Chain A
Amino acid sequence: MKNAPKTKMMDMTCVVCPIGCHLKVTVDENGNFLSVTGNRCPRGEAYAKEEITDPKRVLPTSVKVIGGELPLTSVRTEKAIPKRLIFSAMKVIKSIQVNAPVKRGQIILENILDTGVNVIATRTVKKQNGK
């Protein structure tokens, strides 16, 4: 006789819409998605699948500006990147700096960690007066 399949239940909250359904997700022993309950619409299932396989997040933070009116410009990843890469991405972002002026939307770092996603400035920073 084979062993009964080892499944695991996980709790999670869907954040796709403000209802925030409490999802119960079942995964197999390798962590693969099996089923979900508690979602009130199909978007919940899609969310649960991605959360199980490879959750993604937009990363907002800031980058040092040289010679600007402000010491920092705010930046974010243009699209969501895998959550597991967030701290590595922070390391990269912490190591860079840009020269003023910075324009909103300007690409600060291309293709971060080979995700295919750019880091863009989200604030315009003018040059400091007289510099």
Chain B
Amino acid sequence: MKVAVIGAGIVGSLIAREFTKYEIDVEVFEKLPDVGWGITKANSGILHAGYDDEPGTLRAKYCAKGNEMYDRLSKDLNFELKRIGSLVLAFSEEELNILKELEKRGKDNGVKGLKILNRIESLEVEPNLSREVISALYAPSAGIIAPWEAAQAAIENAVENGAMLHLSTEIKNISNENNQYVLDTSNGEFQFDMVINAAGLWADDLAEKTGVKVSPLHPRRGEYILLDQPGVVRTVIFPTPSEAGKGILVLPTVHDTVLLGPTSQDLPPTQKESTKTTFDGLSKIVKSAQKLVPAVNISKTIRTFAGLRPENDIKDFVLKREGNMMHVVATRSPGLSSAPAIAKDIVNDMLGDLEIKKRSDFNPHRAPLVKVIEMSDKERENIIAKNPSYGRVICRCNHVTEGEVVDAIRHGARTLDGIKFRTTAMFGRCQGSFCTVKIMKIMKRELGKNYEEIRKNLPNSQIVDGDVR
């Protein structure tokens, strides 16, 4: 039995890993050069508690459940998860009424620990909140992760358990011949018994290619500003949600930076790659974020970026099975939170009647990555004695060592962003102005490349070009 998973975002990665628990051949196809570089690369990274999804939707079914599953996943796969809790702020009586509705809905959805705080209690949890706040809905189960890290960890673990990963391989077409699915890819043809389409923003197009009708996707852009202002907030701060969605938030990241955003701008279906930021979007973020937390200091900007949500007209996930092919469409928010629960259900559904055994040698663990800065002096001493390159600090903002950069390359990083999103080098306030050259030197040595062959991320993102002499 051979299964193909199309798309190595958080959804595809967790599905692939789930399949490797069974005696079945798994292959993952990703058109980008690295894992988790689609929607999964640019979002809020929140494990939502699950109180704002209307009962009866797939979002309500999967969000709280998926969120809970991350505890186990983060331990098994060794990626960072911080259960920091969230606050939805109310600035008026009308908003307070909405909070009460959310609280009730949350209870129906099985969300634990929800509580409405008064003004003083809210300020105790989060001293930098606007003094205008009158109340807040506190959800202790909300958490944050680095979504791409979770996807990378899941894929790595899947590969350790026998899955095959095809990067930079785009699925161009899918046809069905003699109960076999033929994938026509940018790297040749492949045949499978079963196919999972987890292609994010392109999942509707791929479904269409196999003759399956789903409501079409259009991108909804979300812009962000990342700040170097650790400690300004400790929890995820939401405004009261409105028709337009969850609104612009202020939240810490697992890397101790602060994220402001996202905006919410609908784009035509032709703009599925339009991840640019805009003047209006960035101005709006500043205004809205400072309304929640006036202490937000915009002069501490590290960078801006934007992500695209795959939206449809029913505002819900669509899981559509046709024969031995499953389409996972419209993985909008809270798709990240829901992904583990979706993955489990899909694999159960696909393998349901087939008598496929669980593998006895499945190893759920991914070895932790070395992070020298988080070690004790004794641990540092030991690891440097074994491998001195763990003593050579390359990135001065986040104290990433040469050894960690080499590890990232061994774990699959082939580009500067690949290293950035695995080690956090170049992630900090200097944005690589000091460490880029050092990292490129290590890449040259480890990968046997010259400077001109090194890319930032995409195939044409060359960094330097030509000799001075």
A and B touch in the complex (CB under 8 A): yes
State the main secondary structure of chain B at its contact with A: loop
**How far is the CB of A14 from the nearest CB of chain B, in Å?**
32
**How far is the CB of A117 from the nearest CB of chain B, in Å?**
21
Q: Give Cα A130 to B469, complex, Å.
A: 23
Residue B244 CB within 8 A of the other chain:
no
Q: How many positions in chain A have a CB within 8 Å of any CB in the partner chain?
A: 7
Q: Give Cα A62 to B469, complex, Å.
A: 8
Against B, the Cβ 8 Å flags (1 = close, 0 = not) of A78-95 are 000000000000000010
Q: Give Cα A71 to B450, complex, Å.
A: 14
Q: Give Cα A72 to B468, complex, Å.
A: 9
Residue A97 CB within 8 A of the other chain:
yes
Q: Which of A43-77 contact B (CB under 8 A)?
A: 62-64, 71-72
**How far is the CB of B286 from the nearest CB of chain A, in Å?**
38
Contacts of A63 in B (CB 8 A): 469
Residue in chain A with minimal CB distance to B469: A64
State the main secondary structure of chain A at its contact with B: strand
Q: Give Cα A62 to B467, complex, Å.
A: 12
Q: Give Cα A54 to B468, complex, Å.
A: 29
**How far is the CB of A1 from the nearest CB of chain B, in Å?**
59
Q: Give Cα A30 to B113, complex, Å.
A: 89
Contacts of B469 in A (CB 8 A): 62-64, 71-72, 94, 97
Against A, the Cβ 8 Å flags (1 = close, 0 = not) of B44-82 are 000000000000000000000000000000000000000
**How far is the CB of A69 from the nearest CB of chain B, in Å?**
13
Q: Give Cα A94 to B469, complex, Å.
A: 6
Contacts of A62 in B (CB 8 A): 468-469
Against A, the Cβ 8 Å flags (1 = close, 0 = not) of B385-409 are 0000000000000000000000000
**How far is the CB of A115 from the nearest CB of chain B, in Å?**
22
Contacts of A72 in B (CB 8 A): 468-469
**How far is the CB of A72 from the nearest CB of chain B, in Å?**
6
Contacts of A97 in B (CB 8 A): 469
Q: Which of B448-469 contact A (CB under 8 A)?
A: 468-469
Residue in chain B with minimal CB distance to A63: B469
**How far is the CB of B107 from the nearest CB of chain A, in Å?**
67
Contacts of A71 in B (CB 8 A): 469
**How far is the CB of A100 from the nearest CB of chain B, in Å?**
14
Q: Give Cα A103 to B468, complex, Å.
A: 21
Q: Give Cα A97 to B467, complex, Å.
A: 14
Contacts of B468 in A (CB 8 A): 62, 72
**How far is the CB of B182 from the nearest CB of chain A, in Å?**
51
Contacts of A94 in B (CB 8 A): 469
**How far is the CB of B440 from the nearest CB of chain A, in Å?**
14
Q: Give Cα A63 to B469, complex, Å.
A: 7
**How far is the CB of A73 from the nearest CB of chain B, in Å?**
10
**How far is the CB of B468 from the nearest CB of chain A, in Å?**
7
Residue in chain B with minimal CB distance to A64: B469
**How far is the CB of A109 from the nearest CB of chain B, in Å?**
14
Q: Give Cα A32 to B51, complex, Å.
A: 83
Q: Give Cα A34 to B372, complex, Å.
A: 70
**How far is the CB of A121 from the nearest CB of chain B, in Å?**
14
Q: Give Cα A65 to B256, complex, Å.
A: 44
Q: Give Cα A94 to B468, complex, Å.
A: 9
**How far is the CB of B336 from the nearest CB of chain A, in Å?**
46
**How far is the CB of B37 from the nearest CB of chain A, in Å?**
33
Q: Give Cα A71 to B468, complex, Å.
A: 10
Q: Give Cα A63 to B467, complex, Å.
A: 12
Q: Give Cα A97 to B468, complex, Å.
A: 12
Q: Give Cα A4 to B468, complex, Å.
A: 52
Q: Which of A92-116 contact B (CB under 8 A)?
A: 94, 97
**How far is the CB of B380 from the nearest CB of chain A, in Å?**
28
**How far is the CB of B450 from the nearest CB of chain A, in Å?**
12
Q: Give Cα A60 to B57, complex, Å.
A: 68
Q: Which of A4-34 contact B (CB under 8 A)?
A: none
**How far is the CB of A125 from the nearest CB of chain B, in Å?**
13
Kindly list the 5 A-B residue pairs having the minimum CB-CB distance in the complex, ordered from nearest.
A64-B469, A72-B469, A62-B469, A94-B469, A62-B468
Report 6 cross-chain contacts, Cβ distance below 8 Å, ordered by A residue. Answer: A62-B469, A63-B469, A64-B469, A71-B469, A72-B469, A94-B469
Question: Apart from A62-B468, A72-B469, what are 7 other A-B pairs with CB-CB below 8 Å?
Answer: A62-B469, A63-B469, A64-B469, A71-B469, A72-B468, A94-B469, A97-B469
